[in-house]
Amino acid sequence: MEERLRLVHGQRVATQRLAERGSKSIGIFTGNLRAFPMQAERMPVVCDEWTGPGLVDEAFQEAGVKHLGGSRPLHSAALFNRTSGGLIAAIGALCAGRPVVSAVPAGSKSHASVSRGCYAARVDLIECDTAAAFDDAVDAQKPALVLVTTVSSNLDRMPEATIAAMVRAAARAGAISLIDDAYGARIRPILHGGEHGLRLGADLVITNCDKAGMIGPRAGLLVGVDAHVQRVAAKAAEFGSEARAPIVAAVTESLEMFAPAWLQEESDMGKELTGLFEQKFGAERVQRSDLGPIIVEDELFAMALERAGITPAGTGLVPAEATSALGVILLRDHGVLTTNTHGQPGAKVSLRLRPTPDGIGWLGSLSAVVDALDASLDTLAPLMGNTAAISRLIIGKEI
Residue of 290, 357, 350, 343 lying closest to 319 (CA atoms): 350
Question: pLDDT per residue over 63-99, tens digit each?
Answer: 999 999 999 999 999 999 999 999 999 999 999 999 9
pTM over 0.85, yes/no? yes
Question: pLDDT per residue over 326-368, tens digit each?
Answer: 999 999 999 999 999 988 777 788 999 998 888 888 888 999 9
What is residue 243's DSSP assignment?
A: P
Same structural domain for residues 27 and 47? no
Measured between alpha carbons, how far is 183 from 168 in angstroms, rounded to an integer? 22
Measured between alpha carbons, how far is 93 from 203 in angstroms, rounded to an integer? 14
Please say which residue of 241, 257, 273 terminates a domain. 257
Same structural domain for residues 213 and 305? no
Q: How far is CA 190 from CA 31, 60, 266, 267, 290, in A?
A: 16, 22, 12, 10, 11
Same structural domain for residues 48 and 131? yes
Question: pLDDT per residue over 271-284, tens digit each?
Answer: 999 999 999 999 99
Please say which residue of 257, 273, 306 terminates a domain. 257
Measured between alpha carbons, how far is 325 from 210 in angstroms, rounded to an integer? 26
Same structural domain for residues 213 and 358? no
Same structural domain for residues 24 and 47? no
Same structural domain for residues 270 and 251? no
What is residue 187's DSSP assignment?
A: I
Measured between alpha carbons, how far is 294 from 354 in angstroms, rounded to an integer? 9
Same structural domain for residues 116 and 220? yes
Query: What CATH number is associated with residue 72?
Result: 3.40.640.10
Same structural domain for residues 162 and 202? yes
Q: Which domain holds residue 288?
A: 1-31+260-395
Residues 6+ apart with CB under 8 A from 188: 150, 151, 157, 160, 181, 194, 195
Q: Do 305 and 315 contact (CB within 8 A), yes or no?
A: yes
Same structural domain for residues 253 and 268? no
Same structural domain for residues 213 and 289? no
Same structural domain for residues 285 and 236? no
Q: For the purposes of burial, counting CB atoms within 10 Å of the CB of 193, is it exposed (0-12), middle (13-18) or buried (19 or more)?
A: exposed
| Total number of domains in the chain | 2
Element (H, E) at 180: strand 176-180
Residues 6+ apart with CB under 8 A from 194: 160, 163, 184, 188
Residue 399 is predicted with a pLDDT of 67
Same structural domain for residues 264 and 340? yes
Specify the range with the lowest mean pLDDT, choosing from 176-180, 214-218, 276-280, 377-381.
214-218
Query: What CATH number is associated with residue 348?
Result: 3.90.1150.70
